[in-house]
Amino acid sequence: MTSTTIKVPSATRDRLKVHAARRGETLAAHIERLLDLADREDRFEQLREAIVATSSGGQVAYERERDAWLDADLT
């Protein structure tokens, strides 16, 4: 794996190291986990925006389909 240097303030580096150590992670693994969390947060924000943008007709159609799946006879 290729590595690089990222310039951050010493205080930021120190905070990252403390957080990583608390979780028993390497600094690289900790940064990856933080990036994964940020990606997840972005996906949920996109979902919230899509829900808000859904028309009332679209919401009704969604609820009908949802209910059909929830009420399906699986026996």
Those residues whose C-beta lies under 8 Å from the C-beta of residue 13, and which sit 6 or more positions away, are none
At 7 the pLDDT is: 96
What does the pLDDT profile of the chain (75 residues) look like in tens digits?
Answer: 899 999 999 999 999 999 999 999 999 999 999 999 999 999 999 999 999 999 999 999 999 999 999 999 988
- Which one-letter DSSP state was computed for residue 26? -
| Residue 15: predicted pLDDT | 97
pLDDT value, residue 75: 86
Q: Which amino acid is at 46?
A: Q
The helix, strand and coil proportions of the chain, stated in percent and rounded to the nearest 5, come to 75, 0, 25
Distance separating alpha carbons of residues 43 and 36, to the nearest angstrom: 11
